Amino acid sequence: MSDSATSLFATALDQFHRGANLIDLSSDLRSILSQPKNEIIVNFPVRLNNGKYQVFRGYRIQHSNLLGPYKGGVRFHPMVNLDEVKALASWMTWKSALCDIPFGGAKGGISFDPNALEVDELERVVRRFTHALGSNIGPDHDIPAPDLGSNAQSMVWMMDTYANSAGAAERQNVKRIVTGKTMETGGSPGRDKATGQGVVFCLQHWADEVGFDLAGASVSIQGFGNVGGATGRILQVHGARLVAVADHGGAISDEDGIDAFDLTDWVREHGTVAGFPGAMWIDPDDYWRVPADILVPAALENQVTAENAGQIQAQVIVEAANGPTTLEAEKILTERGIEVLPDILVNAGGLIVSYFEWLQNRSAERWDLDDVDYRLRETLWRACDAVVDLRTDLDVDSRRDAAYAVALRRLQVVYEQRGIFP
């Protein structure tokens, strides 16, 4: 079995226990936090345009609500499965705790290929999924958001379905049932680019710490969707040079720089980076070998593996995706002196601006973009500072382990004060 075939939840648990060891987390808390609180699976039928019914399987895993309502995205992808969603849900708990956001952790998804359906079929899938989840989600209970394969439109369908099932007097009150909505329907300025913006803020913090110059640095990004695209565009504005991009359709490279804005337009029209006229087509197997100072995995989990970790020539790997690095790969990267900025910190921008959207909906306010960006940066930099400080205090090399230790300490304190019921 290759290391990329290891259970994702097993990887998540390994990371959790490493962080827990650093702060001597009690065995009681370890057993509570090493399983999700609730695992909800729904099978629901949808009528397709050919007149046939298809039964879809959806998941909502609620890992922890100790710090606040369950919070996390919904993923639409054929590979979605219980093991994966459990891992992703636990990572949301650590992210909220690490960034001091009063949310818990959850994740959901439907195993299907959204690109294989017509738009009206997709709408019926999303609405029927929301209906099937019923009161398992709620604006102060469990708040979904977009993730891989879903987007702002999917969130609007979820919100509208939920609102129409609520009583008439409640309808305005439940907008915050999902975050990541379009601006017109109650979304927050900056939510669409929040995760990529957060990636760049974390990278800036690291660059300041180690004396690295982002201007002129070369960048390689795997995945050019919501997160990878925004990261590429913002880094370009900061003077970095995008030298390679890979996605599900292929890989491209140009030593002199690929224009991230032109590439965004291309991907919007063609659905993939493949065929982009402003760069050279390369064999996807050669993608990891392309020299770049910064490597940003922003696609799926288990992409940086024992097979390709030895080929990577970057100085730093910035985990914009969730769980992109296998345990074996991380060991190889550490031995090779390549820094890994961990996912639970690096991609928390989406969660943080989701929280801002939820707050705006709750008080019927609209913040402006500068305000959102400023608050996002402050929140993330505080989390980065906490990781740097604890890393020094505990004399630990791994930034991931230090980030887990910060998150778990916060949860530990709350458990100590609240105890468990009854």
Nearer to ligand NAD, 22 or 297 (CB): 297
**Whole-number Cα distances in Å, 193 to 150, 327, 362:** 15, 29, 22
Smaller CB distance to ligand NAD: residue 36 or 350? 350
Site string for ligand NAD, 58-97 (x = CB under 6 A): ----------------------------------------
Q: Compute CA distances 394 → 13, 347, 405, whole Å.
A: 21, 24, 9
Does the footprint of ligand NAD cover residue 356 (CB under 6 A)?
Answer: no
Report the nearest approach of ligand NAD to the CB of residue 422 (Å).
36
Q: How far is the CB of 187 from ligand NAD (least distance, A)?
A: 12
Neighbouring C-beta atoms of residue 38, cutoff 10 Å: 14
Task: Count interface residues toward ligand NAD (CB under 6 A).
Answer: 23
Active site residue 181: no
Contacts with ligand NAD, 222-261, as mask; x by CB under 6 A: xxxxxxx-----------------xxx-------------
| Residues linked to residue 252 through DSSP beta bridges, in sequence order | 245, 281
Nearer to ligand NAD by Cβ, of 25 and 233: the residue is 233
Q: Which of residues 280-319 bind ligand NAD (CB under 6 A)?
A: 298-300
287-298 core/surface letters (b: 16 or more CB in 10 A; e: else): bbebebbbbbbb
Q: Could you give the CA distance from residue 157 to residue 140 in angstroms, rounded to a whole number?
A: 19
Binding flag, residue 9, ligand NAD (CB under 6 A) = no
Question: Are the C-beta atoms of residues 411 and 67 closer than 8 Å to each other?
Answer: yes
Query: In this chain, which residue has its C-beta nearest to ligand NAD?
Result: 225
Nearest C-alpha neighbor of 338 from the set 317, 318, 324, 320:
317
Spell out the alpha helix ranges (H) of 136-193.
152-165
Residues 160 and 81: their CA atoms lie apart, in Å, by 26
Per CB under 6 A, 187 contacts ligand NAD: no
Cα dihedral across residues 85, 87, 91, 93: positive or negative? positive
Q: Which is nearer to ligand NAD, 69 or 180 (CB)?
A: 180
Task: Please report, as residue ranges, which positions from 94 to 153 form the binding site for ligand NAD (by CB under 6 A).
Answer: 146-149
Strands (E), 262-315: 280-282, 294-297
Residue 394's closest CA among 384, 405, 410?
A: 405
Per annotation, catalytic residue among 71, 107, 175, 181? 107
Instruction: State the nearest-atom distance from the C-beta of 323 to ligand NAD, in Å.
Output: 7
* Residues 22 to 41 in contact with ligand NAD, rule: CB under 6 A: none
Catalytic residues, which ones? 107
Query: Which parts of this chain interact with ligand NAD (CB under 6 A)?
Result: 146-149, 195, 222-228, 246-248, 298-300, 320-322, 347, 350
